[in-house]
Amino acid sequence: MLEEKKNSTRSKGRAERQLMRFLEEFSWLLSSYSSADFKLFPKVLSKKWTSIENGQIVNYVSDNPNIHFLTGALPGIFTDEKLFSTNEEIAEFSDMALGIRIPRWSKISKYEIIGHIVCSIQGLDDTRLIRLVKALNKVLAGDRRAQKLVSRERTKKRDWNLIIQELTSAD
């Protein structure tokens, strides 16, 4: 019984010393990152936490869902020959609807234009994009009325801003 008490006291002392070493190292680590705002830690974890299930990313929340949507949707839209048959039409849409000017669009390939737009989207203001995302979402979701409207108005070479306004006017 006396031997068990000695072993228990030693284990307790060892655990306390180990805890003290941990706290020393932890305080050193915290002081070396003194400029970091640790209050943001839970927010960052909850927003950026991702996992992969069955080959797909789940639990990811984009900082800006509108930009995230456009980054994925625009390449498919721009390569649709019914909507955009020429580089000029893509450059015109980019300038009018997104405010992104494509320098020398006539001298570069369609895919270079699309890449320029996709890369430039990251810096756009969300307020400008909300209406565009709503309009494009209707077209991509298979809304027949929206698809017919876009097709009809594009054959008339109508301004993209007017088409977007018409697509979102029912909202």
pLDDT per residue as tens, the chain (171 positions): 656 666 667 777 888 999 898 888 888 887 787 787 877 766 665 555 556 666 665 665 567 788 888 888 889 889 988 888 899 989 988 988 888 899 999 999 999 999 999 998 888 877 778 888 888 888 787 778 888 888 887 777 777 778 888 887 765
The angle, 0 to 180 degrees and rounded to 10, between the axes of the packed helices 126-140 and 160-168 is 70
Q: Phi first, then psi: give them for residue 166, nearest 5 degrees.
A: -65, -40
CA distance 26 to 131: 49
Query: Using an 8 Å Cβ cutoff, are 120 and 100 in contact?
Result: yes
CA distance 126 to 17: 54
Please name which of 53, 87, 80, 66 lies closest in space to residue 137, comparing C-alpha atoms. 66
pLDDT at 114: 93
CB count in 10 Å sphere of residue 164: 20
Number of C-alpha atoms within 13 angstroms, CB side, residue 117? 30
**CA-only gyration radius of the chain, Å:** 28
Q: What string of DSSP letters covers 93-155?
A: HIIIII----TTGGGS-HHHHHHHHHHHHTTS-HHHHHHHHHHHHHHHTT-HHHHHHHHHHHH
Q: Kindly report each contact of residues 80-88 with a partner whose C-beta sits within 8 Å and lies 24 or more positions away, as own/partner.
A: 82/151, 82/154, 83/150, 83/151, 83/154, 87/113
